[in-house]
A and B are shown apart, each in its own frame.
Chain A
Amino acid sequence: MKNKILNIKNLSKSYGAFKVTDEITIDLHFDEIHALIGPNGAGKSTLIKQIVGSVKHDIGSIILDQEDITDLTDVERAKIGISRTFQVSSIIPQFSAIDNIVLSLLDKSSKTFQLFKSIRNNKDLYSNAKKILKEIELLEKSDISASDLSHGDRRKLEVGLALAMDPKVFLFDEPMAGLDESGTKMMINLFKKIKTNSPILLIEHDMDAVFALADRVSVINYGKIVATGTVDEIRKNELVRDVYLGYEI
């Protein structure tokens, strides 16, 4: 229990007779990247939504850093250290890239309710935002409206928004979808670097990236965790090959 920062027990969610997540038990250790893989519709994104609190679960519990957060709202969970990216890019379209990052820094710096001071004059916020943009290789596009960014750059910005919160855990939902080779490489290096501060629960379909990054992998199918183990263990698992990876791997 001591080395677990996030501990999810028996989390279930049903829509009528359809069980989207079925008694899922999964944990996230300090310093690790735990990848969650599975076919489309297996319940991966719904699990993320339940952890962040945007979808209410039916039963189960969520413990973050030894604190039961099961009954907290989505905003409260974000405040105490759960940071996420969305499966489909969710940014503030009319804001520039840097303003998107600054927005993400507001709560941490207790600036949300500063009513009359110009945000543009807050050099600390903007210099922190620039550091993050540099990290995600978007510094030269900092003043471009987020709606004008390419798909790949929006994915990077999503990750930047999560980074800015300096959370206890990251929940990344397909952060590399649509990225080119250099973008994927940048993300892999970034994730390896940040996991020591904040471990990552990663949903990803790019198996090369998953196998390059993950310390542990869990496989979900029909809302159930069917296997958990190291990359090698998962590669060798017959059931996993059957339901997801295929025989060619």
Chain B
Amino acid sequence: MIIEKVFNKWILLFLFTIPVFGFVFEEPYYITLTTKVVILGIAGIGLNLALGYCGLISFGHAAFFGLGGYVTGILSFHAFNSELMFSWPFVSSGSSDMLVIWPIVILSSAFLALIIGLLSLRTTGVYFIMITLAFAQMLYFFAISWPNYGGEDGLSIYMRNSLPIVNTMDPLTFYFICLFWLLVVIFISAKLINSSFGMAFQAIKQNEERVKSVGIETFKVKLLVFIISGTITGLAGSLYTDLNRFISPSVLNWQMSGEIMIFVILGGIARLYGPIVGAAFFIVLEQTLGGYTENWQFWLGLILILEILYVRTGILSLFEKKFKYEK
């Protein structure tokens, strides 16, 4: 455990230094790449709370990621075009201010997670997986058939949304905004995991019947975990739209849900920093192997199979073991 904590500090150190190197050596590509790792890491940490710590195998987290992305895209699309978004109950022409967008993303993601959770958490196992998947696919097909916001082609936003004082178009500045959110999400998740609420949801993963028998309302606990999880993933979707200045239905597709799940599994289920490592590994693989072959996912699949068969608890545990043997 102590070794894992040391390793986690190394991860943070890397996250602080790599983009700075990118800046010093004028390689913005590396800043963008690390920004992507950070954003997808946030999405993974969100899913990890539900999947890793509470045993809720959601295959529909793309719904939250996509919703966060689309809310951001739609708000800024209207703001840049000065187009009326709605006129009731009040008049709104969207917003390009991140301080306005983030709370709306957080609230809308939480609301969607509440609706999906209320229905899907009545089931368990494969039924839960299928219901969460079905919700995300419904949103995916809705986005495809919504011509106002680009339909299948997606929606471009001309400029990254803004924050007071700072220039969000600067890659390093935007990177540190994302890193700020990652640190906030890590802080909140760590607090939750070590709280009495965290004790309850981690116990549910292991033995829900026992948890019920001591009078804990497991449905409410799972619902709240699902809402927090979906909200964090929705926030990641918002940052992802700002990073790319583009949002398309592909982020709502089941493949996105699968990718977020892969970050969690690769890095280490129920390990706080696991999804960051998983996302970094995924992106490095995509960038390196993707240069040689279009079908780089074949190798990803192979690595995933080997990991599940021989490591199971993720890349972090692999390093942990190595450190232990070296001692």
Contact = CB atoms under 8 A, between A and B. Distances in A.
Interface in B153-210: 188, 191-192, 194-200, 202-203, 206-207, 209-210
Contacts of A83: 213
Given A92-B206, A92-B207, A112-B221, A75 B198 contact: no
Contact of A116 (B195, B203, B217, B220): B195
Contacts of A120: 194
A115 interface: yes
B195 A114 contact: yes
B224 interface: yes
A78 B207 contact: no
A161 B195 CA distance: 19
B213 A52 contact: yes
A115 B215 contact: no
Among B206, B210, B212, the one with the most A-chain Cβ atoms within 10 Å of its Cβ is B210
Q: How large is the interface on B (under 10, 10 to 19, 20 to 34, 35 or more residues)?
A: 20 to 34
Given A94-B206, A112-B197, A119-B198, A165 B214 contact: yes
Contacts, number: 98
B196 A117 contact: yes
Contacts of B188: 116
Contacts of B215: 75, 78-79, 107-108, 165
A224 to B, nearest CB: 27
Nearest to A74: B212
A102 B192 contact: no
B213 A106 contact: no
A104 interface: yes
Interface residues of A, number: 37
B114 interface: no
Contacts of A91: 207, 210
B211 interface: yes
B203 A95 contact: yes
A118 B188 CA distance: 12
A116 to B, nearest CB: 4
A121 to B, nearest CB: 9
Given A90-B209, A118-B194, A106 B199 contact: yes
Contacts of A117: 195-196
Interface in A89-106: 90-95, 99, 102-104, 106
Nearest to A107: B215
A115 B292 CA distance: 47
Among B210, B211, B213, the one with the most A-chain Cβ atoms within 10 Å of its Cβ is B213
Contacts of B209: 54, 90
A118 B199 contact: no
Given A92-B206, A106-B199, A116 B192 contact: yes
B221 A103 contact: no
A90 B207 contact: yes
A136 to B, nearest CB: 16
Given A111-B196, A116-B191, A119-B198, A106 B216 contact: yes
B119 to A, nearest CB: 19
B218 interface: yes
A67 B211 CA distance: 24
A78 B214 contact: yes
Contact of A78 (B195, B196, B212): B212
B206 A119 contact: no
Interface in A126-167: 161, 164-165
Contacts of A107: 214-216
A134 to B, nearest CB: 20
A15 interface: no
A113 interface: yes
Contacts of B221: 112-113
A113 B216 CA distance: 10
14 contacts: A54-B209, A75-B212, A90-B210, A90-B213, A102-B199, A103-B203, A112-B197, A112-B200, A116-B191, A117-B195, A119-B198, A125-B196, A161-B213, A165-B214
Closest 5 CB pairs of A and B: A107-B215, A78-B215, A111-B196, A79-B215, A104-B214
Given A54-B209, A90-B210, A94-B206, 6 more contacts: A78-B215, A90-B213, A92-B211, A107-B216, A114-B196, A165-B214
